[in-house]
Amino acid sequence: MPRIRPFAHGDEPALADICLRTADSGTDATGVLDDDALWAEVFVLPYVARHPDLAFVVESDDGRVVGYVVCAPDTRAFEDWFHDEWWPRFAGRWPLPAEVRTRQDGILTYAYGRRAGAEPYGDAYPAHLHIDLLPEAQRQGWGRRLVETLVAALRARGATGLHLAASIDNGGAIAFYPRLGFEPLPSHEGVQAFGLSLEP
């Protein structure tokens, strides 16, 4: 029987693979960018580096990791850490583009622009998450259970709110989060943000 367990060091390659295989609005993004590795270095690996205790995975019957949820409990602090400590290590590999001409340029511009206050949702909903499941683990309740596991961990820490943003092209995600109690938030073009109060 598949199970949810805490993230363990050594899971990083599996998480990077899942991120890549679901990054294109929930579908496989292999080959979409010039460098496939960029997805994970922006959207999953910094989270398990900074907050491994707030990462949970779905492990299949045969021991493979087939899904995950990762989280930053304090978005403002996380974004400053990303800007000051995590991302500078990649400046040589992925320099800031002079203009946005490709999808990779857009992601790099986003990565270089990450810092406290760049996104408005962290004030009312301080924590934020990223969640991804391979197709084989979808539509079986694992997404709900991952979010519930994370919410319980955040509440135990006294977190007051949780948010996320999904591409408007990801219809499955747009339909999923309201079913878990998330409320739509005013959002940037191309994305829909959701917030969940964790207040008692």
> What integer pLDDT is reported at residue 178 of this predicted model?
95
> What integer pLDDT is reported at residue 199 of this predicted model?
87
pTM of the model: 0.95
Sign of the alpha-carbon torsion through 45, 49, 54, 58: positive
Average pLDDT, stretch 165-188? 91
Q: How far apart are CA 47 and CA 55, in angstroms?
A: 8
Instruction: Using DSSP bridges, classify how beta strands 183-185 and 161-167 pair: parallel, antiparallel or unpaired.
Output: unpaired
**What type of residue sits at position 132?**
D
Instruction: Using DSSP bridges, classify how beta strands 3-6 and 191-197 pair: parallel, antiparallel or unpaired.
Output: unpaired
Q: How far apart are CA 152 and CA 90, in angstroms?
A: 34
Q: Quick check: 200 pLDDT over 80?
A: no
| End-to-end Cα spacing for the chain | 33
pLDDT tens digits, 7-46: 999 999 999 999 999 999 889 999 999 999 999 999 999 9
How many helices (H) does the chain have, and how many strands (E)? Answer: 7, 7
Residue 111 tokens, joined: 């990565």
pLDDT band for 119, please (50, 70, 90 cuts): confident
Q: How far apart are CA 66 and CA 107, in angstroms?
A: 24
pLDDT band for 121, please (50, 70, 90 cuts): confident
> What integer pLDDT is reported at residue 141 of this predicted model?
95
Q: Is 176 in contact with 147 (CB distance < 8 Å)?
A: no
Question: Which residues are CB-neighbours of 142 under 8 A, at least 6 positions away?
Answer: 2, 4, 58, 67, 133
Q: How far apart are CA 21 and CA 25, in angstroms?
A: 10
pLDDT band for 145, please (50, 70, 90 cuts): very high
Domains and CATH numbers, the chain: 3-158 (3.40.630.30)
